[in-house]
Amino acid sequence: MPSKANTYHVHLETDRKRPELFHLPLDQWLAAAKRHRALAKKLRVTVGSNGENLDAALGTADFLITNCPPPKERLRERAPRLKWIQTTAAGVDALLPFDWLPADIALTNNRGAHGPKAFDTVAMALLMLHQRMPETFANQRAQAWQPLYTTPISGKTAVIVGFGDLGQGAGRAAKKLGLTVIAVTRSGKATRIADRVLPTKRIDSVLPKADFVIVTTPLTAETRGLINRERINLLKPGAGFINIGRSPIVDYVALRERLESGTLCGAVLDVFDQEPLPPDSPYWTTKNLVVLPHISCDDPRYVEHLLDFWFGNFERYLTGKKLKNIVDRQLGY
């Protein structure tokens, strides 16, 4: 069915294997459409899941909102009118490289949605690690009273790897708790939140100073394996480690060795190579490791916020403004 004049077709595609939080059901769309009535009148919507009616929808779709990798094979041929793809995720590492994406199809991600939760999770993780909660929880399980006294966290140093939406949320949290924040970024350009910013190539100079390392960077060709064994071993005794970015950025084998040897105060990891983590994974029982089930940065109002963001961007589209959150095809995020 061709679009009516002045009407665009938007298709919402859900991979039902993803947590329900990230599903794009019709009722959420209709609720968002009520909040954006004038814009919604210009749209015809279809909703699908697990690719079942995807090709029929792509035949006329102008826009795609998807919680899973978009169809990469012969995309232009299958989706002749497609102009814009919106992902529900901020990280688009699963879509790299972008050789499948025609130059005239915009790709926007969901960066900016995760900062407030990153703030909360990193504040919690810093305080838990500093106050030796991983050991204290183990003592509780062993029904053993073993006070571990710690100074206030104020004055400690956090090295934050990546300083986008997540990194800045982490940085705001660390500053509120009185820490010194050193950000490590691609550009090394100064930002308001951090006390110091260094380019990635100088990371080795600051890792030994870190009381806490917080990995928040997107996974790209440049960041894959960035925190390798050598760098894990630069961490000082008693340091804490937090990863809310992606697991392939960090050598988890080396990290686990340091945890098991007791030379770190602990780690809080929210991301793993295999998710859900299987029941027999060694991470569940690694000493002083807190496993978070990939919840660090996601608000249950996720899709509600995403659709509000999308409607705002759709208005920019209609008025010829540049879309927000366009993914840089070279940088990969």
Binding site for its own copies (CB under 8 A): 19, 21, 116-117, 119-121, 123-124, 127-128, 130-131, 133, 136-137, 139-141, 143-154, 176-177, 275-277, 279-281, 284-285, 290-295, 298-302
33 class by beta-carbon count within 10 Å (0-12 exposed, 13-18 middle, 19+ buried):
middle
Neighbours of 281 (CB within 10 A): 14
Q: Nearest to residue 45, comparing CAs of 4, 5, 89, 12?
A: 12
Q: Cβ closer to its own copies: 156 or 231?
A: 156
CB of 184 to its own copies, least distance (A): 25
Q: How far is the CB of 19 from its own copies (least distance, A)?
A: 6
- Nearest approach in angstroms of CB 147 to its own copies is 4
Contact call for residues 267 and 242 (beta carbons, < 8 A): yes
Residue 113 DSSP symbol:
S
Q: How far is the CB of 81 from its own copies (least distance, A)?
A: 35
> Min. distance of Cβ 134 from its own copies in angstroms?
10
Tokens 């926007």 belong to 108
- Where are the strands (E) in 128-245, listed by range? 157-161, 180-185, 196-199, 212-215, 239-243
Give the residue with the Cβ less far from its own copies, 177 or 226.
177
User: Least distance (Å) from its own copies to the CB of residue 246?
Assistant: 17
Ramachandran angles phi, psi of 205, nearest 5°: -75, -20
CB of 254 or CB of 295, closer to its own copies:
295
Nearer to its own copies, 153 or 327 (CB): 153
CB of 106 to its own copies, least distance (A): 29
Compute the distance between CA of residue 223 and CA of residue 246 in angstroms, rounded to an integer: 10
The reply to whether omega before 69 is within 30° of 0 (cis) is no
Nearer to its own copies, 107 or 158 (CB): 158
- Which residue, 60 or 288, is less far from its own copies as judged by CB? 288
**Residue 82 burial (C-beta neighbours within 10 Å; 0-12, 13-18, 19+):** buried
Ranges of H-type helices in 9-132: 26-35, 37-40, 54-58, 75-78, 115-130
Give the span between the Cα atoms of 200 and 152, in whole angstroms. Answer: 30
Of 173 and 206, the one with the shorter C-beta distance to its own copies is: 173
